[in-house]
A and B are shown apart, each in its own frame.
Chain A
Amino acid sequence: MEFYCIPEFEVEFNSLRLKNNYSNLPDLLFDEFNSIDISGLKSGTNLIPGKGIYYIKRRIAGSSGYRVYYVIDEKNNKAYFGFIHPKTGPEGIANIGHKFKTANFKSIFAAIKNGDLKKVTFKGNHFIIE
């Protein structure tokens, strides 16, 4: 399974991990996605069911943890992280609306099309954007 992220995800991830409230984020993402397979990725809220594409919203670290949005490319065994936000703390967001969900999907599509992606790897118990 190969993981990538779009620039918006990288900006949000780097901003959050440097804050005390969210310094556990790289470890949590490692635990959640390291060694996961396609079927494991198909968990959470299936945002566009019946379309042959999986755009998923996934809960990390319980109700008051984080929410991660990603698209699965089942054919090529790849997944693309599009957005992440904490539920609580100073940067906490209750939810994102459907317009933002659409905008995020479009950003993921544009990044794939333009090759504007960063590789995500899992090393030393950390989630790393290369």
Chain B
Amino acid sequence: MTVSEKIESVANQVKQASFHEKTRGVAELDIDSFLDRILTFQKYLADKTIKVDQISSMFENLTWIEGDLTENDLRLINEVISAGKDLRTSLIKRYIKINTNSLRSIASKEINLFKASIDNLTETYRDVEDVFFNLPNDNELNEAIDQFKLI
């Protein structure tokens, strides 16, 4: 896989997750039908948390891609970040919907872990934004790196 193909693959997966959250995700979460199915709801949330954590790992892995990045690669990374922000918005809406006293009474731990995974996603895409767009343009950092190499 080339650098561009790797980034494109992440972009597609994040966009797919965001689309899924906006469309099929709503149908999956029919609260009334599973209030009496506690285990199903807990598993639903646990699975969703795992998926969000996987997306966060993909963001993190972008920072380990070897090789020089072209302008097109950076454009793709910017698209991944935008898709991550879009996904976060959908997930927060989902969290607000499920963060009720009645659902907390049956799945408090799972709801907290789900929220932590959303926070982690937010943190990782912001870090990726720093790594590829903010830090490379920071003259103070670049000077420090150059001096560090001389030690």
Query: Which A positions have Cβ atoms within 8 angstroms of B?
Result: 42, 44-53, 57, 59, 62-64, 71, 87, 94-95, 97-99, 101-102, 105-106, 109, 112-113
B5 at the interface (CB under 8 A from A): no
Q: Is the beta-carbon distance between B144 and A109 smaller than 8 angstroms? A: yes
User: Which of B116, B117, B144 meets A105, CB within 8 Å?
Assistant: B144
Interface residue from B64, B120, B127 paired with A57 (Cβ < 8 Å): B127
- The verdict on B135 contacting chain A, using a C-beta distance below 8 Å, is yes
**Interface, chain B (partner A; CB < 8 A):** 53, 60, 63-65, 67-69, 113, 116-117, 119-120, 122-124, 126-128, 130-131, 134-135, 138, 140-141, 144-145, 147-149, 151
Most buried by A among B53, B64, B135, B151: B135
Asked if residues B126 and A109 are in contact (CB atoms below 8 Å), the reply is no
**Is A53 a contact partner of B64 (Cβ separation < 8 A)?**
no
Contact A44:B141 (CB < 8 A) given known A57-B127, A63-B53:
no
Which of B63, B69, B148 contacts A45 (CB under 8 A)? B63
Q: Are A51 and B64 in touch, CB under 8 angstroms? A: no
Could you say which residues of chain B place their CB within 8 Å of the CB of A87? 119
Chain A nearest CB from B124 CB (Å) reads: 7
Closest to B148 in A: A109
Query: Smallest CB–CB gap between B10 and chain A, Å?
Result: 14
B64 engages A94 (CB within 8 Å): no
Contact of B123 among A47, A95, A109 (CB under 8 A): A95
Q: Which A-chain residue is minimally distant from B59 (CB atoms)?
A: A45
Q: Are A47 and B149 in contact, with the CB atoms below 8 A?
A: no
Asked whether, in the complex, the Cβ of B53 is within 8 Å of the Cβ of A45, the reply is no
Would B63 and A49 count as touching, CB distance under 8 A? yes
State the CA gap A62–B147 with chains docked (Å).
34
- Apart from the given pairs A48-B145, A49-B65, 9 other A-B contacts in the complex at a CB distance below 8 Å: A49-B64, A50-B68, A59-B120, A63-B119, A63-B120, A95-B126, A99-B138, A105-B141, A109-B147
Docked pose: A62 CA to B116 CA in angstroms: 9
How far is it, in angstroms, between the C-alpha of A105 and the C-alpha of B120 when the chains are bound? 23
Q: Which residues of A contact B138 (CB under 8 A)?
A: 98-99, 102
Q: Which residues of B contact A102 (CB under 8 A)?
A: 135, 138, 140-141, 144
A112 cross-chain contacts in B, Cβ below 8 A: 148, 151
Question: Chain B CB within 10 Å — which of A44, A63, A102, A112 has the most?
Answer: A63
